[in-house]
Amino acid sequence: MVFVVDDDASVRRSLARLLKSAGYEVESFPAAVAFLASGRHQQCPACLVLDLSMPGLTGLELQERLATLQSPLAIVFITGHGDIPTSVRAMKGGAVDFLLKPFDDTQLLAAVARAVGRTRAAWKTTAELTAIRHRYATLTAREQEVMAQIVTGKLNKQVAEALGTVEKTIKVHRARVFEKMQVQSLAELIPLAAKLGLLG
Amino acid sequence: MLIIHSFGRDFAPLDAMSSSFRTELARQSAEPVEFFEASIETARFAETGDDGPLIGYLQTLFAGRQLDLILTIAEPATHFCLRHRAALFPDTPLLAHVDHRQMTLVTAATNATIAPVYIRIPVLMENILQLVPGTTNVVMVLGASPFERAWADQCRREFAVFTNRVTISYLNDLPLAKMRDRVATLPAHSAVLYAMLAVDAAGVPHEQEKALVSLQAAANAPIFGVFESQLGQGIVGGPLLPLEASGRQAAQTALRLLSGEQVGEIAIPPPDPVRNLYDWRMLQRWNINEARLPADAEVRFRVPTFWEEYKWQLIGIHALCLAEGVLIFALLRNRRRLRRTRNDLAQSEERLSLATNYARVGVWSWNFQSGAIEATAECKQLFGFGPDEPVNFPKFIERVHPDDRALVRRAVEESINSKSAYDMQYRIVLPDGQLRWIAARGRGRYLDGLANDMLGVVLDITERKRVEEETQRHRQELAHVSRVSIMGELSASMAHELNQPLTAILTNAQAAQRFMASGKADLDEFREILKDIAHDTTRARDVIRHLRSLVKKSAPDFTPLDLNDTIREVIGFLHGDIVARNVRVTLELAPNLPPVHGDRIQLQQVTINLLLNAFDALNGNPVPERLVTVATALESSKRVRVTVRDTGTGIPSDKIESVFEPFYTTKREGMGMGLSVTRSIIESHEGRIWAENDPKRGALLHFILPVDQAA
């Protein structure tokens, strides 16, 4: 799925055709505000072909909004007249490409393909994290405490001391954590803890 | 009753007292009064006479008769009666009509009272000195009788205070003839004070005021008197004693005594007020200024002046003289003016000739009857006619440039029909092919409403036209250079406006290729694609045309122009800039705006300049506050106004006037020619442009253009 936002109707229509010819589904919007209002920014797999200079909300401003909305959509900027400061700002904001009008179809399609890929990757990351969070949420408060201790590499005995209990109880909690977080070893658990932000 | 006189009943001034007494008493008395009169004739004589015979006479006269009242007039009679009071009817009341100085004497006597005469002496001299201040010599006229000598002595006493200012001499010892000689030869600064002259030194009695009249005829100095009765007899006047009033006063007392009142019961009357009386003729004769008279002065015997007497005759005569004078003056002036007019005319002709020569102005007149056009030498020379060559309208119109002939004919016809002047410019072609520009002015003259002839002037303005055209060309070139330089500033707009259609075209074409390659050829889709490509190509072409028109050098083409359209075109053209600069432009265009007369390209240039300036003014603003408004309005039925408003920082107030000056700029890039060229364009459109600051925020630039006349 490709979303096209450009204030020029001709440009919008021609882009829709080109993207369709490459097999994409296309939805076009005449202004940034119209796109935001559609609520399509969480869609995946997809990408956004965005005109830089538009009346009202500009391309760069839409980019910033999407970032705050944690949208996974990757953006390909197109512009009638580019200057270096603007393009730098766009790329730093995470744009996949910055194309000067008029551009070749191959340029655009390549950029769009990359963008879709990046969106998918981003989306996948997001999906994984969501799953991990779900699993973590099934732990009891004591189990979460134990998990926070063991991912730092502490032995059961040390954990028991720190939490004011006996080594035997810790062993039981550790087994429950491994089970609920769906891991076999400490080595598997540590990356998950990292993604959850438990490693500070 | 018995009246006893001092000299005789007709001696002045005492006669005034006795006669007014008699008249008043007779008038007032309820019963008839019988008067007996006697005179102390001996009073006239220097040597004292024997009173016996008179006493005897009176006693005889009143033996067996009842005498009710005795009146004595003046001192001699009074003294006589007092002296013989016991012999002369002591039971009959005695009324002494005499100077108040005798009051004690009289009132001390038996059955006697006084009707006083208040003779005041020093005021007489004061009066003289007041009226004739330089007086140093006064001669006093009094007679030689003992009574008069006594008064002279009294005067000497009372005038003593004046002796260091005035020399006073007394003429008691002179007979009248000598007195006359004396008063006729008085030295300068002299005056005569005439009291009375009953008997002169020669023993001659003088009744009434004959002596006074005689003296005043001879006197070479003013004569002053003492009594009111003397006024009109030759005295100048002064605080005169009203003896007649005293007489009347005495009559009042007499009446009371006759009615039986006792002398002790009757109060002694106070003095009558002295009146300041003057004889106008004497004032004139002795050249005494009336201003010196006291405030309550009464001037008598005023002779009407010549003016007063002949007032209307004089006015008539003067009016006649005046009228004639005016007439003569007017005639003289007229003659002078005529002469001057002739001079002026000659001078004016000379000046005109000089001026026309110098300015190369031709003067002509065209007689409609004969058809002939009379023209000055300059005029003929201007049109390439010989000095003696006759000219008429066909010959004239032949010289006019073929393109301007219809124009000239129409102007002349309209001028004659509307009876108004025509004012125009046209070209003429001389026989040698030389082209000249002529400014012409003329107007018809009418007799009885019919056009009789036409007068006019022509002026060679070829050089002026050449300069004008050159200026115009320079102005156009400047405008052009300025337009080209705008292109640099418009790079964003140009790129955007061209790139949009190009992008669409390219993308469409490549999409079509892909559809074909993939074998998913859909004819409807292709048709749509080709239609879009054609449309975008046209769009690109229009942008390029527009650019070319701005950059191209072309003569201005003035046509009726809708400013709203011009503004919309420019906004479209600047779309790229508007977007790139994040400016919001609002249009407030008046509907049904009448077209202006203008050159489309130049007015677009104006609008572009104003918009770009507004955009530049917004550079420092945050994006939501970058607002520009373009408004049009019908200022009046004849003018349209365009306003470009921004929300920038405004123009520094001291620069409001100078923003239109060349090389005025606030930008780092740019020559500062934009607004200067803008003003030059607006002015060549007969419009006006000015800047002002919005009190709230930002600047306003207005321009006004005249509505197209043909519309």
The CA R_g of chain B, rounded to the nearest whole Å, is 63
Of B99, B100, B186, the C-alpha closest to B141 is B186
The two tokens of residue B422 are 């025509």
Confirm if A114 and A47 have CB atoms less than 8 A apart.
no
Report chain A residues whose CB lies below 8 A from the CB of B510. 18, 104-105
Distance CA B164, CA B490 (A): 121
**Where in chain B are the domains?**
2-117, 122-238+272-300, 358-460, 472-706
Contact B501 A10 (CB under 8 A): yes
pLDDT recorded at residue B33: 84
Cβ of B578 within 8 Å of Cβ of A15? The answer is no
What pLDDT, on the 0 to 100 scale, is given for residue B664?
62
CATH number for the domain running over B122-238+272-300? 3.40.50.2300
SS3 B211: helix
Which whole-number Å values give the CA distances from B454 to B364, B391, B441, B651, in the listed order? 8, 14, 10, 56
How far is it, in rounded angstroms, from Cα B210 to Cα B13? 11
Residue B435's Cβ-count burial label (10 Å; 0-12, 13-18, 19+) is exposed
CB B452 within 8 A of CB B446: yes
- Matching CATH number, A2-129, of 3.40.50.2300, 3.40.960.10, 1.10.150.120, 3.40.50.720: 3.40.50.2300
Contacts of residue B297, Cβ cutoff 8 Å, sequence gap at least 6: B276, B277, B278, B290
Confirm if B677 and B610 have CB atoms less than 8 A apart.
no
- Which candidate from A21, A53, A104 shows the least CB-CB separation from B580? A53
Decide: residue A150, CB within 10 A, 0-12 exposed, 13-18 middle, 19+ buried.
Answer: buried
Most A CBs within 10 A among B505, B507, B530, B585, hence the mutation to make, goes to B507
User: Chain A, 175-194: which have a CB under 8 Å from a chain B CB?
Assistant: none
Tens digit of each residue's pLDDT (9 = 90 or more) over B242-298: 888 888 888 988 888 888 888 888 888 888 777 889 988 888 888 888 888 888 888
How far apart are alpha carbons A13 and A19 in whole angstroms? 10
CB B187 within 8 A of CB B137: yes
A164 touching chain B per CB within 8 A: no
Give the per-residue pLDDT at B323.
84
B503/A22 touch (CB, cutoff 8 Å), yes or no: no
Chain B residues in contact with A15 by the CB 8 A cut-off are: 507
**What is the pLDDT, as a whole number, of residue A12?**
94
Q: B225, B231 in Cβ contact below 8 A?
A: yes
State which residue of chain B sits closest to A103, comparing Cα positions: B503
What are the CA-CA distances from residue B592 to residues B558, B601, B632 (Å)?
20, 22, 11
The dihedral through the CA atoms of B611, B612, B617, B623 has a sign that is positive
Please enumerate, as own/partner, the contacts of B464-471 that have beta carbons within 8 Å and a separation of 24 or more.
B464/B437, B465/B425, B465/B437
Three-state helix/strand/coil letters over B638-707: CEEEEEEEECCCCCCHHHCCHHHCCCCCCCCCCCCCHHHHHHHHHHHCCCEEEEEECCCCCEEEEEEEEE
Task: Evaluate the CA torsion angle B183, B187, B188, B191 in order and state its sign.
Answer: negative
CA distance, residue A5 to nearest chain B CA (Å): 14
Instruction: Tell me the β-bridge partners of B427.
Output: B437
Fold held by B2-117: Rossmann fold (3.40.50)
pLDDT of the residue at B47: 67
A53–B contact, CB cutoff 8 A: yes
Asked if A107 has any chain B CB less than 8 Å from its own CB, the reply is: no
Contacts of A22 in chain B (CB under 8 A): 514
DSSP H or E run through B138:
strand B137-142
Shortest CB distance from A80 goes to which of B500, B518, B582? B500
Q: How far is CA B58 from CA A30, B73, B346, in A?
A: 163, 16, 113
Report, as ranges of residue numbers, the positions in chain B whose pLDDT lies below 70: 46-49, 304-306, 356-360, 488-489, 491-492, 662-673, 711
Q: Which CATH class is domain A138-196?
A: mainly alpha
Rounded Cα distance between A196 and B325, Å, is 132
**Mutation target vs A (from B503, B514, B530; most A CBs, 10 A cutoff):** B503
Size of interface A-B (CB pairs under 8 A): 89
Residue B292: alpha-carbon gap to chain centroid: 40
Q: Do domains B2-117 and B122-238+272-300 have the same CATH topology?
A: yes
CA distance B699 to chain A (A): 23
Measure the CA angle with vertex B405, ends B404 and B410; round to 5°. Answer: 100
For residue A113, the distance in angstroms to the closest alpha carbon of chain B comes to 16
Give the closest-approach CA distance of A142 to chain B in angstroms.
53
By the 8 A CB rule, do A73 and A47 touch?
yes
Long-range contacts (CB closer than 8 Å, 24 or more residues apart) made by A133-141: A133/A196, A135/A180, A135/A181, A135/A182, A135/A192, A136/A181, A136/A192, A136/A196, A138/A180, A139/A176, A139/A177, A139/A180, A139/A181
- For domain B358-460, which architecture applies? 2-Layer Sandwich (3.30)
User: B496 vs A81: CB contact, 8 Å cut-off?
Assistant: yes
- Angle at the Cα of B219 (from B216 to B220), degrees rounded to 5? 140
- E strands, B289-418, in order: 298-300, 361-367, 372-375, 391-392
Name the residue facing A80 among B495, B512, B539 (closest C-beta): B495
Token pair listed for B363 = 């003067």
What pTM does this model have?
Answer: 0.44
Nearest to A181 by CA among A142, A134, A126: A134
Closest CA to B616 of B571, B573, B580, B590: B580
Closest-CA residue of A relative to B511 is A18
ipTM over the 0.90 cut-off: no
Q: Does A14 reach chain B within 8 Å, measured CB to CB?
A: yes
Q: Are A11 and B507 within 8 A, CB to CB?
A: yes
For B516, list phi and psi in degrees, rounded to 5. Answer: -60, -45
Q: How far is A4 from chain B (nearest CA, A)?
A: 13
Put simply, whether A80 touches B (Cβ < 8 Å) is yes
Tell me the shortest Cα–Cα distance from A43 to chain B, in angstroms: 25
Specify the pLDDT at position A45: 78
Taking an 8 Å cut-off on Cβ atoms, the answer to whether B503 and A80 are in contact is: yes
Task: Report the gap between the CA of A80 and the closest CA in chain B (Å).
Answer: 5
- Which of B496, B511, B578 lies nearest to residue A80, judging by beta carbons? B496
Q: What stretch(es) of chain A map to CATH 3.40.50.2300?
A: 2-129
Q: Which two tokens stand for residue B228?
A: 């009111």
What the block records as the tokens of B645 is 């408003």
What CATH superfamily classification does B472-706 receive? Histidine kinase-like ATPase, C-terminal domain (3.30.565.10)
A contacts of B538 (beta carbons < 8 Å) = none
User: Would you call A21 and B535 a contact, using CB atoms and an 8 Å cutoff?
Assistant: no
Where does chain A hold its CATH 1.10.10.10 domain(s)? 138-196
Q: How many CB atoms lie within 10 A of CB A195?
A: 15
CB contact under 8 A, A14 and B518: no
For residues B456 and B412, the answer to whether their CB atoms sit within 8 Å is no
Angle B413-B415-B418 (CA atoms, 0-180°, nearest 5)? 105
Is residue A17 within 8 A of residue B507, CB to CB? The reply is: yes
Whether A10 and chain B come into contact, CB under 8 Å, resolves to: yes
- Segments in chain A below pLDDT 50: none
Spatial distance between the Cα atoms of B566 and A67, rounded to a whole number of angstroms: 42
**What gap in Å lies between CA B687 and CA B189, rounded to an integer?**
96
For residue A78, give the chain B residue with the closest CA: B503
Question: How many Å is the maximal CA-CA distance in chain A?
Answer: 74
Q: Distance between CA B647 and CA B628 in Å, rounded?
A: 7
Backbone angles phi, psi at B702, to 5 degrees: -115, 145
CA-to-CA separations, B427 to B387, B424, B444, B551, B680, in angstroms, rounded: 21, 10, 22, 33, 27
Partners of A102 on chain B (C-beta within 8 Å) are 499, 502-503, 505-507
Helix orientation angle between B176-184 and B210-218, rounded to the nearest 10 degrees: 30
Q: Report residue A31 as tokens.
A: 């202004």
Chain A residue closest to B516 (CA)? Answer: A21
